[in-house]
Every structure is written in structure tokens, then in C-alpha cells.
Structure 1
Amino acid sequence: MSDRFELYLTCPKGLEGLLAEEARGLGLEEVREHTSAIRGSADMETAYRLCLWSRLGNRVLLVLKRFNMKNADDLYDGVHEVEWQDHLEASGSLAVEFSGHGSGIDNTHFGALKVKDAIVDKLRTRDGERPSVDKLNPDLRVHLRLDRGEAILSLDLSGHSLHQRGYRLQQGAAPLKENLAAAVLIRAGWPRIAAEGGALADPMCGVGTFLVEAAMIAADIAPNLKRERWGFSAWLGHVPALWRKLHDEAQARAQAGLARPPLWIRGYEADPRLIQPGRNNVERAGLSDWVKIYQGEVGSFEPRPDQNQKGLVICNPPYGERLGDEASLLYLYQNLGERLRQSCLNWEAAVFTGAPDLGKRMGIRSHKQYAFWNGALPCKLLLIKVQPDQFVTGERRQPERDAQGNEDQRSPAAVASEPARLSEGGQMFANRLQKNLKQLGKWAKREQVSCYRLYDADMPEYALAIDLYQDWVHVQEYAAPRSIDPEKAQARLFDALAAIPQALGIDQSRVVVKRRERQSGTRQYERQSTQGQFLEVSEGGVKLLVNLTDYLDTGLFLDHRPMRMRIQREAAGKRFLNLFCYTATASVHAAKGGARSTTSVDLSRTYLDWARRNLSLNGFSDKNRLEQGDVMAWLQACRDEFDLIFIDPPTFSNSKRMEGVFDVQRDHVELLDLAVARLAPGGVLYFSNNFRKFQLDERLAERYAVEEISAQTLDPDFARNTKIHRAWRIQAR
């Protein structure tokens, strides 16, 4: 074989330039960049060195041959011509990876099969012995890449991908690959900072990938020093003496690096389930003296008590996976920015994010940004110098001056402690919230209302509904029309979310965000989360349980407060029926008002259990019946009489537990006829729904006494949204 080879090094998309720079430093010559790969010329020693020392590559491929092909026969012939006896014993094993298509190869499996057949046929002995296929741990891993009619046939010297260092046997939900983490560290300037004796802290360290990669860089440890099996281990062209020399040199460098005083490298993780896996990874890497992991929230993160120590804060904040994650992520970034300003003055920071718009919310300018890919997700690396002149805080645009014209001489720490400045739109939104709070707060206090709607898309560009539940804020984002630029809609949402805690004086952890879209069937009742946290609130002398996180709705329809209070006033001594009862809040009010009995009907066992808890919370377990069933079928079978009935049906329902489909516009006449038939003489039925286009059938007024009372069932908090529902009072003639 030749003394020099063409090498291909593959890497994650976006790392090509960094990998080319690294490979040149390791001896690769004539380097050229390709998509997710580089290539160059090298001798065997350099090939080994790249396998051992590349922190950024995935695979090191040694090119055996390039040839043109027009069809599958050309593929077979080109591979068969290689002297495979120089590379693999007939008794050995191989695996073939094929990429690309064209020239009659439309299927990578078929292409790999043709390559395998050519190799096996070349090595088959007279007695029929031939190499076997072993996809997991073959003696030889062959790669063929088909590119516009040219076949590039290579040996994979690395074996398993080089990013698999071997220390990370335990990982979190969405970890960075090790070579991507190393690339981020290099872009962030960590090799320079480490050489100067600087520190490193990761306030959201997960299972410690940044920490371990940083320690290996600082201690001069080859990233794949501990790998035992390579793609060249059983290759007949392998030169063991040369490999041992390079490996021994790397071992000596690692021992020398670890013998030096360790740098201060610390990680903090809020999730207690990740602490031990992270520590286990550090221990497997042999870096327990260098790296420490502690449990801690971003909001309480302190990089190091020694104020003279400077270094790098690096992190990869979590990506939102559920609707409503916008709030927690926004506040996470805000908290991160606050901690950087207050505790990391004159440090450098690197934030690797899949949501760069959130990065703008930290209150610190980034002086440089790099584009990366985390798998298929485009990401940005934001590089920040944590210095006061980079802070975006307060309302100041220019330095403040005193009466004598001198610039503000406050300390950097005082400047750092200012809250992040709201954008112009965010400040406008905050002003509206404070205005509403001042107006509605007086009414709520006077009427002893602890839960009410504070804002309901008052300003069209901020399409949110904001409800106060005592000292919690429940935010519903209405889906923006398709005509609205999604980036602008998201920016406005972030402006609003940033304004809410400041305007209302409520801790960020007590803001819950959901996205409300057009609902079909029972989707609005489907579980959104599984936190199971219930909050006890009060209304009209009763106690009710709400859940702000797990469902789209909270268990309490605030717009029906006046209707519930009306029912409480009229219920004394009456038999009350609550159809489509949901969590039976109206039944609790009826019981509070002295109802002789209450019957509540709903199809959902979940909500009936919730209803049972509401009744029990108020001591109303007796004489209050809960019935699970399809309301229409239940009414058809019912023979009881009731003095007071409340019906608030969904617009549309197609639950699997009911026959057919319920449509309030189509079916309300039948529903009301069945319900009125159950009214005792002189009884009253209240009917409401929130279908904006609903029209009550005119024929009902011919049979019953019908009075629309919609305006009487709206409190001041819904005065701006008079179409939130419509309501009628109905009696038999």
C-alpha cells in the first residue's frame, strides 16, 4: 500500500470549518471542506492521530479507490478489483455502509449488498470459506459513497462514531453529542481560557457533557484515549507498533495534564434525577478531581465565591417541548441573564440555544453569534462578555447625568441588579395590565372576588387572555391568524410574558401559559400535563379546586360567575339539576344556597371525580348525586322532576363514550325539550353556551317562556368581551 492516503473525516453539519482547522493541526494536508465532511492527504501516523485526538469528527475514512460507475455491474466490478486480501482474512467479518443514489442504485440496502457480494466473492477460498457479516463489531467496516456517478470506496478506521467517547452511559432527555459540545466549547474560547487558568461553570449541566469535554480539553486528554476497539483493530493494514507509540504519547500527556492542579469546573442542575448520572459520567471519564456537579436552580446559581477568579459560563438551556413552555423558557433566560449580571461580572458566557429570540431576553448583548445544527435543529451560539456596557437594563438609553452634568457613577454591581428593560411593546402591555388591575382590583376586592379576568385581547396585537387566580396568573395565547408573521407573534408573546411579573408583582414561577386554538370534539378537556397540582380558591362563600397546568381549562369558567351566584340565590329548597356539569361548580353554589338536592351529570369520570372533591371540600357530600353518562341519553331515561336546571353544553362533542355526535346548534332544541320535560311546575331552566355563531331556534319561544339574560350574566371583568357567552331563562308555559 502507499505511504500516503486520501482521508475523509465526517462531522455534524456546521462543524466543517472547525474540523478542518483541527485536522490541519493534527497533520492533515491539502484540506478541503465538504458538507458534513472534510478531506485531505495524510500518512498512517496522521490517520491514527486523527482517530485518537479529533474532538470534532465522527468518522475517519481511508479512501481505497475512486471509480466511475454507470450501473450496478460497474459498482460490483469496481469493488471486486480491490486487493481485499490485503485488508481482511477470509475468515473475518465485515459490515458495509452505503450512502447516495443514482447510476441504477435507488436503494442503499441494494447498494450495500452489491459491495458486500463483491468483497465476499473476492475473498472466497477454494473450500468455500468466506467473510461473514457482523453489523455491530466487524473486523472491517467498509463505506461506499456514491456522488454524481463517482464511487468513493473507503475503510472506516474509527469503528463506532468518534463522538462516542465511552464515558456517557447515562444521559438526559436531549443531550448534546460530545463532539458538538466540544465544538461549542472551542468556539466559546475555552481552550484559551483554560490555558490562562480560568474557571468554567454550567448552570444547566444535565448529565455533564460540557463539563467533561471542557476538563478533557484543559487536562490535554485525547478524547478517545480510553477506546478499546477501533475500526482498524483487525485490519490487515494496521501497524500496531505505530499505534502503540501514539497511544503511549497520548497516555503520557493525559497523566501530565491530570497531575497539574485541577481547574475549577462546576455544574449545577435543577433536576435531582440527573445529578447521580452526571456524577457517574464524570467518574467514568476519570475526572472526579476536576469536575463537580451540584443540585441547584438557575435563579440561585453562583459560579464561585472567589471574586478574583474569572472564566466561562456555558450552557445549553432546554428546548420547549409542550405548548405553554414559552413562559418557563422565557423566565429561565431572564433568570440566567440576571445571574450573569449579578454574579459573573467580567466573565465570558456562551449560550447554545435552539431559540435565539429567547437569548435576546437575557438583558445582555451578545458580541458574536455562530450558527450550528443540533441534529436537524438549527441553533445559535451566543457569545457574551459579561460587562456593564453590554447590559440592556432599566429604561436608560444614554448614561444618566446628575444636576451638574456628570455621568452616573454607580458601581457595576448596582447596574447589574437592575431588572431587564422591557421593550417598548412590553412596557405598553405592562401599562395596560396595571391600568386594568387598578380598575378591576377595586371591584374584585369589594365583591370578594379572588379569581377574575384581567385582560382579554384588549390590544389586538397581544392576543392573550389573562386570568388572576389569587396569586397565580393563567395566560391563554390565542393562535395568531395565518396572516400574522409567526416571528412577530412570538416576539409579542415574549414581550407580554416579560411584562406580566413586573406589572403584577407576581413571581415568575406562578405564571402558567397555554395556547388556545380552535377546538374540536373533546380536545379542550384532554390532559395537557400531569403535574396534578390543585389550587383552592374561593367564590361567593364556597371553596373550589382549580388546576392551572394539566388541562386547557382550569375547572372554573370565570365568565359564569354571575350565573353561579344567581343559582345560589335561587336554589333554596329546590331540586337542582346540572347538565354537562364539568367540575360541578354550579352544583356547589346551589348546595351553598340551600338546595334540597343536587344532581350533576357529565360523561367524564375525571371531571366527576373533580366535582366530588369540590362538593366534599364544602361539606356537601350528602344529597348531591353525581351521574356519569351521555346527557341526551340520560334525559331520555330520567323520570325525576327538578325545580332548577342549568345547562351549559359544549359547542361540539364526539366522545367515544357517547352514541353519535353532539352539536349545540343542531341539537339544542331536542336537548331543551328533554330538559323542560323534567321541570316541575313553576321550575326554571337556565341555558347558556359560548358558540359565537349560535342562534336560538325561534320555535322554542312558541312553546316556552324564553328570556335572553346574557347582559345580566356578565361581570365587569368580561365587559370588554360581551360575546364570551349567551344565556337564556326558560320556563314551561
Structure 2
Amino acid sequence: MSDLLSLFATSPKGMEPLLADELNALGLSEVKPTRAGVSFQGTLRQAYQVCLWSRIANRVLLPLATFPAPDADALYEGVLDIDWTEHLDPAGSIAVDFTSLHSAITHTHFGALRVKDAIVDQFRNRYNTRPNVALDQPDLRINAYLHQDTATISLDLSGDSLHRRGYRETGVTAPLKENLAAALLARSKWQDIAQAGGMLLDPMCGSGTLLIEGAWIAGDIAPALLRNYFGFSRWLQHVPKVWKDLTAEAEERKQMGLQKLPPIVGYDADATAIRVAIRNIEKAGLHGKIHVERRALAQTTDPQQTTGLFIVNPPYGERLGELESIRQLFSFLGSTLRNHFVGWHAGVLSGNAELGKQIGIRAEKIYTLYNGAIECKFLRFQVTPDWFMRYTQTADASAPASNAWTHASPARPAKQFTALEDLSDNARMFANRLQKNIKQLSPWAKRENIHCYRLYDADMPEYAIAVDKYEQWIHIQEYAPPKSIDPQKAEARFQEALQACSAVLQIPLADLFVKVRRQQKGRAQYEKFDEAGKFYEVHEGKAVLLVNFTDYLDTGLFLDHRTTRQWLYEMAQGKRFLNLFAYTGSATVHAALGGASTTTTVDMSHVYLNWAKRNLARNGFSDHRHHFVQADCFTWLEEEAQRLVSSPYRLPRYDLIFLDPPTFSNSKRMENTLDVQRDHVALIRAAMHCLTRQGLLIFSTNYQKFKLDMDALADLQIEDVSTASLPFDYARNPKIHQCWKIRF
């Protein structure tokens, strides 16, 4: 065999230019990218180098012969003409990979058999013995490629796909192949960023593939150093000393590289994924070099480093109904980058090209790559204001709930807020009460890191309104006055209250969100007030939640249940969580952030269930562990209880259930009406049938006249936690809700 060999390295589609760059950097000659790979020339030592150092290639092939093969006999004869005794011991083993394109032989298994037969017959004729077939780690792996009836027969020097580095024992859902991860990092110019001391952060790291590949690139660690099998290992022309020298050199480079790794950090909301990532990191020889922790996307805040690479492979949303929540996830990725990672570089892989627009940053470069059979777009960003898109997404007015949100105050004509000295005497009296409440509540909110809370709740009978602070936005609800009150007088009082709010809070009247609150019955609770369709991000604990101030009676976040949601967060670790009458899923978000193993969110309203999906997605939860059910909760709960009780199998029950039914409902989608006073025993009983013996049901109601039937539930352990569940900002109205913890 001549010193200079003609070789071919295969790669996934779309990665050929990167592979060519690698081969050029290794000093190979005649490097020519082509479909699904790169041809090149090099010595045997250089062929070994490609096997050891290529982060992009799948296989390294050494062509032995090329010949016409219009039929099976011609294929057999062409393979028989190769002297296989130069490559394989008669007692050795072989495996044949066969592919065909635009050729007469289309059956790949048949083609592989003819190649195998020719090799076996040659040995039988010469030595009266034959090599065995071993599909797993054979002594010689042969690659047969038939294109337009021309066969190329090659030795596979890699023996197995080089993307299998040897550190990944177990993956998580849809793991990223190692060479695709390396390609994403190459397209992101990670090596340059690392050399400048930049940090690598993957906020949805899964099993840690991007982190490990990033560490190996930054640390000059050969990607095949852990592998104990190559296709040349038992090849008769293998030169062990050359290989030994190369691996010894790679080990020295590894030890030096490990001393200069930049910060590499990964987060994931899934505790299982983090456990898998830790095992993979340890097997990759990177213990103590990569930091991973369980953290939801919403908890990804300002990094310590001023520059680095934020890289992420989010879910693709291929399953029916997932696309909307994935769209919200991409938008949240964008807001996270804009708010916390200015000055960084970023890379986002998307299986849907349109999703990239949700990020709100113009891509510096867009590459087409393939994750298996899925065509993906990899978007590379510079996270600097000059790349930010200068618009706010708005909703389709015909949609029941939009995809839109904004991070700025409502776009309304700017008007100066009312001055305190311009208020009437009555309005000044209201303003004094509001100032007193603010003085009392503000230190508490700051100390407890609370961003959304109630400032005023009909403290003065003359001003029957509720004033809620949602971060920088103010939401005001007027309780409908009794019929005995003169409507003109009631309207005058309401206007006085609005002027006082404007003066005290120093917000223009046009920027206050105002609604009139009337008792809602039946389908009215789902009726729209407006079609503005704007959603606003607010924070509660570790959660990011979407609220809407204009379109519905309520904003999508019941502030009086803040403490209850915190309980769910604290108790959810490893639990199967069920949220009934879930509304916009804020309780589910807290349970997921608290480490729930699975969540099930049930609500009758398609609008609110989609809202719940978006809330989950905004916090980085879009996987198969979180289930959404659109159904009449009462009927679904009874059916679920019956299914669990009657099944002959030991079906898993829920460990934690939150049951917060409306006072009354007669929606057309319900089989019967719901009356919480009349039906609460049946609801609780059905929920308890779905609960594990050590589980907990939290039952709550906002019906002020509600009486829990203790006699009908006497066999259960019931703890009244109404007072404990009442947040400090609702202390002035202790009847806002009642709450119980119920156990067996």
C-alpha cells in the first residue's frame, strides 16, 4: 500500500463544510467536500488522526476498489477480485454495510449478502476455512456503496460511527448526537469565545452533550480518546506504534487542556436529565469541570461573566398541540437573552424555521443542519441592542387568546398623572388610605421578593374598588355598586378613586387598566371584555407568568392564592401533581418548578388551557411529563377515580392534588351544573380516590358562604389552613377564600 492514501470521511448532511475545515486544519491534502462527506488524501498516520480528532465525521473509509456493478454477479466478481488476505486473517470476522442509490440492486440486505459471499468464498477457496460474520465489533468492517451501478468497496477504519464518543450511557428524550453538538459549537465560534475566557451556558442541557463537547473543544481533548474499538484495530495492515504515539500525544494535550477550561454551566428543569448529565460528565473525564444543576429556564438570570456563549437545543414541538407552547418558549428565550445576556453570543437550534422569529433578535447567521431526518435551522446571534427587533408582537383580534405579550407599559397616549393638590377632598381621603397601604405593604413586598400584590380592596365603603400591582402595571376593578346607590354618584366616586390612584402611584390615567367587576355566572365567566390580546410577563417566586389586563374579568393570576402556590412548590419534589379547575395553570407551573415528576392540568376552557401551556413553556417545561386535559373537571375526576379504583392493575395515583372549583358553573360543555356547596363532598371523594395513601389534597373555595360538610367527610384528616393560606396583602379581607389540607 502506498504512503499516500485516498480516503473518504462521511458526515451528516449539511456538515460537509465543517468537516472539510477540520481536515484542512489537520494538514490533509486534496480535501474536497461532496454529498454526505469529504474526500481527501493522507498517510496512514493522518487517517488515524482523523479517527481520533474529527468531531464532525461519522466514518473514515479507505476505498479498496471501484468497478461497474450493473447486477449481483458483477458485484460479486468485483469484490472477489480484491485480495482480502492482505486485510483479514482467515479466522477473523467481518461485517458489511451496504447502501445503494440510483442502481439496479436496491435491496440493501441482498447486496450486503453478495459482498459477504464473495469475501467468504475467496477464503474458503484458498484456505478451506472462512471468516465469521460479527455485526458487533468485527475484525474488519466493509463499506459497499453502489451509485448509478458503480460500486465502491472500502474498509471502515472507524469501525463504528465516530459520533459515539463513549461517554453517553443513557440519554434523555431526543438526545442530540455528539457530532451535531460539535457542529453547533463550531458554527457558534465557541473555540474563539473559549480562548477569550468566555463562559458556555446551556439552560436546557438535557443529558449534557453540548456541555461535554464544549469542554472537549475548549480543552483540546480528542473526541475519540475514550473509544476502545476502531475498525483498524485488528486490520492486518494496522501499525499499533503509530496509533499508540498519537493517543499518548492526545493524552498529554488533554491534561494540559483540562487546566485551562473556561466556566461551563448547564441547567435543566428535569431532575432525571440532570442525573444523566452528571453521569455522562463523569464518564467523559470532566468531573468538577462542568457545573450542572436543576433549574428551570425562568430561573436563568444574569451570569457572572460579561461574555460567553448561550447555546440551546429546545424542544421542536412536533407533536400535535405542542407548537403554540413551543412558540412561547422561544419568545421567552428571546426575552431572557435581551434582559440578561447582552454582550454575549447565542446559538439556538430549531426544528421549525418560523419559531426563530419569536426570539425577537435578528440572526447574524442561519445554517441548515439535520438532526437525524429533521431539517433544522441553527440561528447564531449577537446579543446586542443593535440586533434587537424594534417591534412588539400583537395578537390576531379574532383569536380567543393571543400569542402576544409585551415587556413595556401599554402603548397609550402619554398623559401627565394627576397631582395630589388637584384632588377633591373626598379623593384626597381615598389617596391617604392608599398611601397608608403602600407604606405598609412596600417593605413587606421588597423583603419577600413579591412583585404582584393587592394594594387596596374596598377598605373604605365609599370606594368599592380593588387596586392590584402587577410589577409596573396597575389593574383596578370596580365592584358593581348596589342598586340603592345613585349611578351618577357611584360614577363620580369611581372617577375620584382613579384620579387618586394616578396621583399616588404617579401613573397617567390612560395607563391604568380598569374593569367593572360584576358577579359572573355560568358561561359569563369565560366571556371576553376586549380583543386587545396583549400579554404581560410577571414574576412570582421562581415562576414567570403571563397575565392579560384587558380581555377577561380576571388577569389570569389569582393573587390571593400566592401562598398556596408556594406550598405546592415546596411539596412537589418527586410528586405526581394534579391540578383541577386549573384556570391558567399557575399552580402547575409552581409544582413543575418544585420538581414534580409529572403534572396533569385539567380545565374545561380551551382558552385557559392554552394559556396554561404557554405558562409552562415560558418556564422551560414543554416535555412529555406535563399533560393537559380539556374536559369538564367534575366528570373527568369521577371517571379518573373510577378508572383507578376498578382497574385490576396497580395504576399510579397522584401524590399531590390541588382542587379549586368555581362557586357555580353551568357551561354548555358540562354535562351538569356545578355548585360547590352542593357538590364539594362528591368532588373531594373522587379526588381522594385518585390520591395515594400518603398523598395530600389541597381544597380551596372563594365562596364566602361556604360550609365544609365535616360529618360527610369524618373519616378523613382535615386541617383548616384558611388563615395560614391568606397572604399579608389580603389580611384586610379574610373572607377572600377558605382552604383545607385533606389526607387519609
User: Which TM bucket (shorter chain)?
Assistant: 0.5 to 0.7
Name the structure 2 match of 1:277.
276
Q: Name the CA shift for 1:423/1:294 in 2 (closer, same or farther; >3 Å).
A: farther
CA distance in structure 2 between the partners assigned to 1:257 and 1:418 by the alignment: 44
Name the structure 1 match of 2:251.
251
What is the CA distance between 1:320 and its match in structure 2? 2.1
- Aligned 8 A contact 1:159 1:230 in 2: yes
Name the structure 1 match of 2:220.
220
Worse-superposed segment, 341-350 or 296-305: 296-305
Name the structure 2 match of 1:365.
362
Deviations 1:443-482 (A, max 9, x none): 763347798213499799xxxx99978746559xxxxxxx
Q: Among residues 327, 339, 344, which one is paired with 1:342 in the alignment?
A: 339
Name the structure 2 match of 1:298.
297
Name the structure 2 match of 1:445.
518
Name the SS of the counterpart of 2:276 in structure 1.
helix
What is the CA distance between 1:392 and its match in structure 2? 3.2
Name the structure 1 match of 2:326.
329
Question: Is residue 2:668 matched to residue 1:585?
Answer: no
- Aligned 8 A contact 1:394 1:420 in 2: no
Worse-superposed segment, 83-92 or 126-135: 126-135
**What one-letter code is carried by the residue in structure 2 that aligns with 1:284?**
K
- Aligned 8 A contact 1:394 1:419 in 2: no
Name the structure 2 match of 1:111.
111
What is the CA distance between 1:337 and its match in structure 2? 2.1
Q: Name the CA shift for 1:143/1:394 in 2 (closer, same or farther; >3 Å).
A: closer
What is the CA distance between 1:374 and its match in structure 2? 0.7
Q: Name the CA shift for 1:193/1:90 in 2 (closer, same or farther; >3 Å).
A: same
Aligned pair count reads 520
Q: Name the CA shift for 1:103/1:165 in 2 (closer, same or farther; >3 Å).
A: closer
Name the SS of the counterpart of 2:527 in structure 1.
strand
**What one-letter code is carried by the residue in structure 2 that aligns with 1:452?**
Q
What is the CA distance between 1:421 and its match in structure 2? 10
Q: Name the CA shift for 1:336/1:423 in 2 (closer, same or farther; >3 Å).
A: farther
CA distance in structure 2 between the partners assigned to 1:211 and 1:233 by the alignment: 30
Deviations 1:295-326 (A, max 9, x none): 212112136325xx411111111222544434
Deviations 1:255-283 (A, max 9, x none): 22223x33111111111111121111111
Name the SS of the counterpart of 1:164 in structure 2.
coil
CA distance in structure 2 between the partners assigned to 1:532 and 1:380 by the alignment: 40
What is the CA distance between 1:418 and its match in structure 2? 7.9
- Aligned 8 A contact 2:392 2:406 in 1: no
What is the CA distance between 1:238 and its match in structure 2? 0.9
What is the CA distance between 1:124 and its match in structure 2? 1.8
Deviations 1:305-362 (A, max 9, x none): 25xx411111111222544434442332233222222222211111112233233222
**What one-letter code is carried by the residue in structure 2 that aligns with 1:4?**
L
Identity of aligned residues (%): 38
CA distance in structure 2 between the partners assigned to 1:339 and 1:422 by the alignment: 21
Question: Is residue 2:232 matched to residue 1:159?
Answer: no
Question: Is residue 2:60 matched to residue 1:60?
Answer: yes
**What one-letter code is carried by the residue in structure 1 that aligns with 2:91?**
S
TM-score for both structures, normalised by structure 1:
0.61
CA distance in structure 2 between the partners assigned to 1:221 and 1:509 by the alignment: 31
Question: Is residue 2:384 matched to residue 1:387?
Answer: yes
**What one-letter code is carried by the residue in structure 1 that aligns with 2:136?**
L
- Aligned 8 A contact 2:362 2:387 in 1: yes
Name the structure 1 match of 2:312.
315
Q: Based on CA coordinates, which of the two structures has the bigger radius of gyration?
A: 1
Name the structure 1 match of 2:180.
180
Name the structure 1 match of 2:407.
419
CA distance in structure 2 between the partners assigned to 1:507 and 1:117 by the alignment: 58
Q: Which has the higher contact order (CA 8 A, sep 6+)?
A: 2
- Aligned 8 A contact 2:660 2:700 in 1: no
Name the structure 1 match of 2:374.
377
Name the SS of the counterpart of 2:518 in structure 1.
helix
Deviations 1:49-76 (A, max 9, x none): 1101100000001000000112111111
Name the SS of the counterpart of 1:228 in structure 2.
coil
- Aligned 8 A contact 2:479 2:517 in 1: no
Q: Name the CA shift for 1:272/1:180 in 2 (closer, same or farther; >3 Å).
A: same
**What one-letter code is carried by the residue in structure 2 that aligns with 1:56?**
I
Question: Is residue 2:19 matched to residue 1:19?
Answer: yes
- Aligned 8 A contact 2:211 2:264 in 1: yes
Name the structure 2 match of 1:204.
204
CA distance in structure 2 between the partners assigned to 1:299 and 1:450 by the alignment: 34
Deviations 1:557-616 (A, max 9, x none): 62478xxxxxxxxxxxxxxxxxx66xx737x78779xxxx99xxxxxx99xxxxxx9999
Deviations 1:14-36 (A, max 9, x none): 10111111112223322222222
Name the SS of the counterpart of 1:52 in structure 2.
helix
Question: Is residue 2:663 matched to residue 1:558?
Answer: no
Name the structure 1 match of 2:242.
242
Name the SS of the counterpart of 2:247 in structure 1.
helix
**What one-letter code is carried by the residue in structure 2 that aligns with 1:389?**
D
- Aligned 8 A contact 1:327 1:513 in 2: no
CA distance in structure 2 between the partners assigned to 1:357 and 1:439 by the alignment: 43
Name the SS of the counterpart of 1:57 in structure 2.
coil
User: Structure 1 unaligned runs (5+)?
Assistant: 397-416, 425-433, 476-495, 543-555, 562-579, 599-604, 607-612, 624-733
Worse-superposed segment, 337-346 or 267-276: 337-346
What is the CA distance between 1:112 and its match in structure 2? 0.5
CA distance in structure 1 between the partners assigned to 2:101 and 2:347 by the alignment: 40
Name the SS of the counterpart of 1:161 in structure 2.
coil
**What one-letter code is carried by the residue in structure 2 that aligns with 1:237?**
Q
